[in-house]
Structure 1
Amino acid sequence: MTQRDRERIAAGLADKLSYGEIARRLERPTSTITREIARNGGPGGYQPQQAHQATIRRARRGTPAPPRADTPPSGTMEEELLEMAVGAGMPTMAARVHLDLLLSEDGRRTAAELTRRLKISPATVSVAVNYLLQHGYVRRERDPRRRRDIYMIDDDAWYHSIVTSRRQTIETARATMATAETYAPDSPVGQRLAKAAAFLERVSLDMVESAERWRTLLT
């Protein structure tokens, strides 16, 4: 990314454009713009010249060694992102892997790279990425030449995670309704379960409708 690109990002932020719109104007993936801003002060503190110089310094000295697996990544914004993900229910190690992918330049890592960067075992990486795959946060591609899996986070990852969450909520709603039907409809238990099932089903439908309506922000 050139300094001119970064100046255009700053101008877009000043004009209160969405990340998706800035990315479209620069013909870049939204995830690239998101990572660029997050790594260089956030939307309220992004300075193009400082961001450009910081990138040059990182390139000269190489990527710094990652922290231990039981400590959060350095930097206030990264710590905040990690804490929010864990607070929302994501397992800590899955959150660390997800954050490392999110902040990587091209949004992709192999299992070996994740193991090396986060200093964790291959088995721990496997558990973490399986969680992320199951919940739609990342996708997996096969490198046929080297016979290895590549884990990726792209612009549609957030949409797919919502759809996956909706599917799981629907399954819970159906199971709750099936259980409710085993009780008398006018019994306290039957009524309680039926209400819960109806609530979960409606929420899941609203989630998908909202995700579809705002999906263009990711493109």
Structure 2
Amino acid sequence: MPGGRLTQQERQRIAVGLADGLSYAEIARRLDRPTSTISREVARNGGPGGYRSQQAHQATVQRARRGTPAPPRAAGPQGGAVEEEIVALAVRSGMPRMTARVHVDLLLSEGGRRTAAELTRRLKVSPASVSVAVNLLVQQGYVRRERDPRRRRDIYVVDDEAWYHSVVISARQTLEVARASMAVAETSGLDTPVGQRLARAGTFLERVTLDLAESADRWRALLA
């Protein structure tokens, strides 16, 4: 496995990998580098959405000339890599990146709770960005909002029950789509190609969703 600093060519390949939606682990495998090397490189040079190979290379050269180390991470290299990997998985599943970052930070916090100010400070983003992300997480059931009466501030909490609520909310939304499709199918006519297509899709989604909701209720006790 090669050691030493990343070359400019390797940084270009990292940029291409990020643009293609590859995980840090996959990029590391292709470069024959540790995953932690890739996660540190991206984190200190703009993050997954702002990484530019040329700027990253120049910044590294300048740091070497000054003899100053890169900004330290709050977590160790492996911890940072794992965190970024979870965020990447959430993004690939359709969650906005900022929402995923907030969710993962809450998941990995010891008490499963943080204030908006703590999230803003830890993630180095604006309060507005945190607010949008948290609101989406609350709507989807991943997080709940509690009020601190003494300090008059909201506290955002993620716990085991959140997984149950997120499944139930998702199932409810999918069920609405299924039944809307079946209603449109009847309007279009069940003897028409469009009506038949929508009826089949609606019936499939309804059956699968009801099974999912039933399964969530059956296994909810595992979260207790």
The interval holding the TM-score normalised by the smaller chain is 0.5 to 0.7
CA contact under 8 A between 1:162 and 1:211: conserved in structure 2? yes
Q: Which of 206, 209, 222 is residue 217 of structure 1 equivalent to? A: 222
Partner of 1:71: 47
Q: Distance in 1 between matches of 2:181 and 2:45?
A: 38
Higher relative contact order (CA 8 A, sep 6+): 1
Task: Give the RMSD, CA atoms, in angstroms.
Answer: 1.9
- SS of match in other structure, 1:114: helix
Partner of 1:161: 166
Q: Distance in 2 between matches of 1:130 and 1:167?
A: 18
In the TM superposition, what is the alpha-carbon distance from 1:76 to its structure 2 partner? Answer: 2.8
In the TM superposition, what is the alpha-carbon distance from 1:68 to its structure 2 partner? Answer: 7.4
Corresponding position: 1:94 with 2:70: no
Partner of 1:121: 126
Give the 3 Å change call, closer, same or farther, for CA 68–159 of structure 1 in structure 2: farther
Give the 3 Å change call, closer, same or farther, for CA 158–202 of structure 1 in structure 2: same
Q: Distance in 2 between matches of 1:182 and 1:68?
A: 56
Q: Distance in 2 between matches of 1:78 and 1:154?
A: 18
Give the 3 Å change call, closer, same or farther, for CA 70–141 of structure 1 in structure 2: farther
Give the 3 Å change call, closer, same or farther, for CA 195–69 of structure 1 in structure 2: farther
> Cα deviation per residue 1:119-175 (whole Å; 9 max; x = unaligned)?
111111111001101110000011111111110001111111100100110111121
- SS of match in other structure, 2:90: helix
Give the 3 Å change call, closer, same or farther, for CA 214–69 of structure 1 in structure 2: farther
- SS of match in other structure, 1:116: helix
Give the 3 Å change call, closer, same or farther, for CA 69–88 of structure 1 in structure 2: farther
Letter matched to residue 122 of structure 1: P
Corresponding position: 1:196 with 2:201: yes
Partner of 1:181: 186
CA contact under 8 A between 1:101 and 1:153: conserved in structure 2? yes
- SS of match in other structure, 1:185: coil
**Percent of aligned pairs with the same amino acid:** 70
Q: Kindly report structure 1 stretches of 4+ aligned residues shifted beyond 6 Å.
A: none
> Cα deviation per residue 1:70-123 (whole Å; 9 max; x = unaligned)?
626853322221111111111111000000000001000111111111011111
Q: Which of 67, 83, 92 is residue 88 of structure 2 equivalent to? A: 83
Give the 3 Å change call, closer, same or farther, for CA 197–118 of structure 1 in structure 2: same
Q: Distance in 1 between matches of 2:123 and 2:47?
A: 10
- SS of match in other structure, 2:154: strand
Aligned residues: 153
When normalised by structure 2's length, the TM-score is 0.64
Give the 3 Å change call, closer, same or farther, for CA 70–205 of structure 1 in structure 2: farther
Corresponding position: 1:172 with 2:148: no
When normalised by structure 1's length, the TM-score is 0.66
Q: Distance in 1 between matches of 2:192 and 2:222?
A: 46
Q: Distance in 2 between matches of 1:162 and 1:180?
A: 27
CA contact under 8 A between 1:132 and 1:138: conserved in structure 2? yes
Q: Distance in 1 between matches of 2:44 and 2:192?
A: 53
